[in-house]
């Protein structure tokens, strides 16, 4: 028996295993996955995005995972998470995906923290190649009005800091160079936010409505938003589910369902919810803190298989 086994040429054996796999899984090749990292992070840190990439690869046989690098090196990638026009970054990512034949049949996308709203911009602006499922992990879909460490605190220093941030955030120069200013959302004066913000106000259809943004969102199979209930980085944390401060103050919050964005369905979110394609997940932890087993059973098994 052993003799016989040894005489099968390696190529034939490989072909045989391959054919068996094709028979067992007729649509064998799994949709590739694209990951966009958060602020202060980069594509390839073995403890964050590198780990996520490996986790997906270990759980889905033969999958191709691209962790986006914005720039030509890890240092550039990290710096560009702070200092770059987000619209240019989104354009660059759209080109990267369009240039790579592996994505032509469609791909799944996961954005972590600010990568969540940036990936949504890719879905809205670049329908080719098609994004299948969009997962936002701790993304700030209505922006932020606050600083890490000030979350939930209504004290003088924190309130002063955000008022001062507004004064600089909406200047032209800062809007075009500082990433976080491009999703700074001051609820005390929505008019100024709508007029001056170069990124978030556009993808959220705050000014003129771009019908293709809605049409493209509706091409998604699912849009999944993960919110961290003990988030100490994102203020208000409700932004992770599209909630935000009601206009004119910075205390009371409304949910997505109470906003005209939803009731008038500027982005297709109402239609998605009504067809069971909008998913709200939560974790009782701090920003981006989740276990491997949570990620496997709630994200990989549900949306990437």
Ligand X SMILES: *[C@@H]1O[C@H](CO)[C@@H](O)[C@H](O)[C@H]1NC(C)=O
Catalog residues that contact ligand X under the rule CB under 6 A.
92, 95-96, 99, 189, 191-192, 257, 273, 276
Residue count of the chain, please give it: 305
Q: How far is the CB of 192 from ligand X (least distance, A)?
A: 5
Residue tagged active-site, from 37, 141, 185, 287: 287
Whichever of 46 and 276 has its CB closer to ligand X, that residue is 276
Whichever of 277 and 287 has its CB closer to ligand X, that residue is 277
Q: How far is the CB of 104 from ligand X (least distance, A)?
A: 14
Whole-Å CA distances, 226 to 50, 139, 205, 231: 20, 8, 22, 11
Rounded to whole angstroms, the Cα distance separating 234 from 253 reads 14
Whichever of 92 and 218 has its CB closer to ligand X, that residue is 92
Residue tagged active-site, from 113, 186, 202, 239: 113
Specify whether 25 is catalytic: no
Closest CA to 262 of 250, 274, 252, 253: 274
Please identify which residue in the block is written with the tokens 């500027």: 266
Rounded to whole angstroms, the Cα distance separating 133 from 144 reads 24
Whichever of 7 and 191 has its CB closer to ligand X, that residue is 191
Specify whether 231 is catalytic: yes
Residue tagged active-site, from 41, 77, 231, 239: 231
Specify whether 113 is catalytic: yes
Rounded to whole angstroms, the Cα distance separating 55 from 45 reads 13
Whichever of 148 and 248 has its CB closer to ligand X, that residue is 248
Q: How far is the CB of 191 from ligand X (least distance, A)?
A: 5
Whichever of 92 and 161 has its CB closer to ligand X, that residue is 92
Q: How far is the CB of 277 from ligand X (least distance, A)?
A: 9
Please identify which residue in the block is written with the tokens 């997505």: 256
Residues involved in catalysis = 113, 231, 287
């Amino acid at each position: 028996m052993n003799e016989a086994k040894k005489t099968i040429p390696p190529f034939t054996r490989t072909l045989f295993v391959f054919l068996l796999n094709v028979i067992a899984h007729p649509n064998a090749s799994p949709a590739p996955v694209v990951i966009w990292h958060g602020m202060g992070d980069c594509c390839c840190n073995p403890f964050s995005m590198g780990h996520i990439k490996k986790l997906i690869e270990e759980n889905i046989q033969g999958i191709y995972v691209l962790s986006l690098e914005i720039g030509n090196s890890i240092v550039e990638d990290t710096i560009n998470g702070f200092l770059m026009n987000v619209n240019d970054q989104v354009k660059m990512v759209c080109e990267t995906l369009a240039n790579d034949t592996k994505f032509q049949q469609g791909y799944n996308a996961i954005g972590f923290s600010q990568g969540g709203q940036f990936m949504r911009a890719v879905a809205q602006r670049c329908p080719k190649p098609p994004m299948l499922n969009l997962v936002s992990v701790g993304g700030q879909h209505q922006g932020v009005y606050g600083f890490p460490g000030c979350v939930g605190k209504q004290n003088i220093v924190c309130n002063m800091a955000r008022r001062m941030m507004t004064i600089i955030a909406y200047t032209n120069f800062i809007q075009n160079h500082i990433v976080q200013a491009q999703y700074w959302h001051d609820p005390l004066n929505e008019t100024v936010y709508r007029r001056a913000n170069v990124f978030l106000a556009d993808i959220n259809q705050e000014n003129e409505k771009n019908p293709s943004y809605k049409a493209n969102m509706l091409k998604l199979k699912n849009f999944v938003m993960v919110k961290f209930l003990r988030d100490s980085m994102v203020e208000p944390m409700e932004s992770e589910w599209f909630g935000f401060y009601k206009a004119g103050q910075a205390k009371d919050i409304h949910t997505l369902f109470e906003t005209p964005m939803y009731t008038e369905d500027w982005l297709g979110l109402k239609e998605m919810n009504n067809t069971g394609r909008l998913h709200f997940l939560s974790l009782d932890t701090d920003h981006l803190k989740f276990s491997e087993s949570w990620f496997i059973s709630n994200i990989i098994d549900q949306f990437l298989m």
